[in-house]
Structure 1
Amino acid sequence: MKHVTRLCAGLLISAAWVTASAAADCEITLRSSDTHPDGYPTVAGVKSMAAEVREKSNNRICIEVFPSSQLGEEKDTIEQTQFGVIDMVRASFGSFNDIVPITQLTSMPYLFKSEDHMHRVMDGPIGEEIAEAFAEKDLIALAYYDGGARSFYNSERPIRTVEDLKGLKFRVMQNDVFVDMMDALGANATPMPYGEVYSSIQTGVIDGAENNFPSYDTSGHAEVAKYFTLDQHLMVPELVAVSKSSWEKLTPEDQEILRTAARNSATVQRQLWADQEAASEAAVLEEGAEIIKDVDKTAFIEAMAPVYEKYVTTPDAKDLIERIRATE
């Protein structure tokens, strides 16, 4: 795929990171799954965790990372981790929605003010509260990674206001919240497989889609939809989790090594993601894309009132949303 080499640019792979052969020399080997390819920021993040764990445990504990869906797709590997078939998983919160319902609330549109705001929320008391919900499902939450911010892009016109969205057809994932979000903004939601987006924009079946900068870049969508509006309507956290059964086999000292290394790896992953976003933004600008940053999000946020009324219904859910918004 065009631009795919950009995905790995700048990601330095340390010789200390665990390989399958090296893992054989360890007393404890934890297998960790990721759907993304080797070199992707999430994979590199878990590998940095592996390096620290091995060093701090004096080569007793190894984490063997399996990228590119080698152990299965996200939902499959989450289930395997719950049952202890594999030890660790890195997955998007979106894949946990049916298992840990509280994760659905973090997928509400315009909930997080910025990626930094999302990090502060997830690294604080709210993140700890969400971690408790994972523990009830036999998953120990170790660290929250950054999956980027999704924004609108289209082939027709710059979008600066809600009115600019009226009548445009946007591809969205098959998700009721996404469909209702587009309806509330006056646009037409068109669920379709990701692989069909390029040709559908090119032929006028749809006018645009929504995603993050790296996806907009590596998919080639910038070639057919040159107007990218940085509205950041959705930021979905990602999780590194370990199976409860694998966790309980570790000593308290080894658990602390694992937890500390995971949190440190989140810093690494977030920086790699920020670097990748910057590289992709530069790449699409060079290809002629127009990035619209002067967006007043107030009207967009106000338009989401009916969406929140539909999906945030319980007192506990409303309280969590308010606490997230109030986090400084």
Structure 2
Amino acid sequence: MSNHIPARLAAAALSLALLSTSALAEVKERTLKFGYSTFEAHPLGQGANKFVELVGQKSGGKIKMKVYPATQLGSETQTISATQGGVQDIVGTSTAPLAGLVKEYAIFDFPFLFANEKEADAVVDGPVGQTLLAKLSEKNLAGLCFFENGFRNITNSKRPISKGEDVAGLKIRTMQNPVYLESFKTLGANAVPMPWPEVYTALESGAIDAQENPYGIISVNKLNEVQKYISVTKHAYSPWAVIMSKKLWDGLSEEERTIFVSSCNEAKDFQRKFSRAEDAKIVADLKSKGMMINELAPEEVSRIKTTLQPVIDKYTATVGEDLVKQAQASIASVH
């Protein structure tokens, strides 16, 4: 049996509804652990619940998953490691920590790679996304699909950011990720890598001024209590990978694999739709709670991207020019 998720299986899986009785005989009773770092109320948590529900339905109730949201099983890095070791069955994670395992995942950290969700979908659901999911098998993981964390925006307690120079001097928390660190340093910020659970307190105490995340994360973590300004920079887009332990994947029947892949793809469509509908509500809610929200002019975004081009060029060499060209071709295909 192949250790990769075959493309034909993924395609067949999309149209799969419920398995026949004979196929269900190939499904074992299982109770699995699914851990991730966001709150259950977040669109990612809702997507995770949908995935669990679909797997339950398609397996005739034989496969149950217990979810552990809000870092109950550890940070993203810890839960990825536990899933590699087969201690945890399934992990949901942003792609930034995966770049430490599979260097090509750093493509998602490129500043201003995508202008909108349509471009992002074309890349994560196209050849680039499939290549990246398949690459996880070299690291004792099996990639199932990508949910959406969304476009990242900067919040801070000092001033609105309307041009690149406004970032200079801000102490900004970023993920432990070389592309993010270098991008913010290039703009003159003091980039501070910090585990997520420490961020709220650091913002509250003034140890840092700023952080960057999609709207959903800003909202469920109540960052409006410790941050005054949101600047809609959309400087990066974060996919969220749903990944299984390869040890578990290797032991599954073809029927069971089909259940997981098809359920992930159905849940992905539900989750992205939900996430995008929530964004507009969240913006209105954060405004009502006193946050000042400003957009960046398109020409200013172009100017910042030009400033960051040396970072993009440097990491294109790491990620591989072919993969970057493939992503650019997928982006061009939706225009």
Query: Shorter-chain-normalised TM-score: which range?
Result: 0.7 to 0.9
Give matches, 1:25-104, under 5 Å: 27-104=29-106
Could you tell me how far 1:218 is from its partner in structure 2?
A: 4.2
Q: Which protein has the bigger helix share? A: 2
Could you tell me how far 1:133 is from its partner in structure 2?
A: 0.6
> Which residue identity lines up with residue 314 of structure 2 in the other structure?
K
Q: What CA distance in whole angstroms lies between the structure 1 residues aligned with 2:169 and 2:34?
A: 44
Partner of 2:312: 308
Partner of 2:204: 199
Partner of 2:218: 216
Q: What CA distance in whole angstroms lies between the structure 1 residues aligned with 2:314 and 2:81?
A: 29
Secondary structure class of the residue paired with 2:302: helix
Gap change, CA 1:81 and 1:146, over 3 Å in 2: same
> Which residue identity lines up with residue 327 of structure 2 in the other structure?
I
Could you tell me how far 1:206 is from its partner in structure 2?
A: 5.2
> Which residue identity lines up with residue 110 of structure 1 in the other structure?
F
Gap change, CA 1:36 and 1:225, over 3 Å in 2: closer
Q: What CA distance in whole angstroms lies between the structure 2 residues aligned with 1:124 and 1:144?
A: 11
Figure out how many residues of one structure are paired with residues of the other and give that number: 299
Could you tell me how far 1:222 is from its partner in structure 2?
A: 3.4
Gap change, CA 1:47 and 1:214, over 3 Å in 2: closer
Q: What CA distance in whole angstroms lies between the structure 1 residues aligned with 2:106 and 2:166?
A: 28
| Residue 235 in structure 1 maps to residue 241 in structure 2 | no
| Residue 299 in structure 1 maps to residue 299 in structure 2 | no
Give matches, 1:141-160, under 5 Å: 141-160=143-162
Gap change, CA 1:71 and 1:222, over 3 Å in 2: closer
Secondary structure class of the residue paired with 1:51: helix
Gap change, CA 1:302 and 1:41, over 3 Å in 2: same
Gap change, CA 1:217 and 1:257, over 3 Å in 2: closer
Could you tell me how far 1:112 is from its partner in structure 2?
A: 2.2
Could you tell me how far 1:207 is from its partner in structure 2?
A: 4.7
Structure 1 gap segments, 5+ residues each: 1-25
Q: What CA distance in whole angstroms lies between the structure 2 residues aligned with 1:73 and 1:163?
A: 33
| TM-score, normalised via structure 1 length | 0.81
> Which residue identity lines up with residue 60 of structure 1 in the other structure?
K
Could you tell me how far 1:263 is from its partner in structure 2?
A: 0.5
Could you tell me how far 1:259 is from its partner in structure 2?
A: 0.7
Secondary structure class of the residue paired with 2:184: helix
Structure 2 gap segments, 5+ residues each: 1-27
1:262 to 251, 261, 264: 264
Assess if the C-alpha contact under 8 Å between 1:43 and 1:65 holds in 2: no
Could you tell me how far 1:285 is from its partner in structure 2?
A: 1.1
CA RMSD of superposed structures (Å): 2.5
Assess if the C-alpha contact under 8 Å between 1:107 and 1:235 holds in 2: yes
Gap change, CA 1:84 and 1:166, over 3 Å in 2: closer
The CA deviation string for residues 40-85 of structure 1, in whole angstroms up to 9 with x for no partner, is 3223222212222222222222222222333333222222222322
Gap change, CA 1:61 and 1:309, over 3 Å in 2: same
Gap change, CA 1:169 and 1:137, over 3 Å in 2: closer
The CA deviation string for residues 118-148 of structure 1, in whole angstroms up to 9 with x for no partner, is 2221111111111111122221111101112
Q: What CA distance in whole angstroms lies between the structure 1 residues aligned with 2:264 and 2:59?
A: 14
| Residue 319 in structure 1 maps to residue 334 in structure 2 | no
Gap change, CA 1:76 and 1:167, over 3 Å in 2: closer
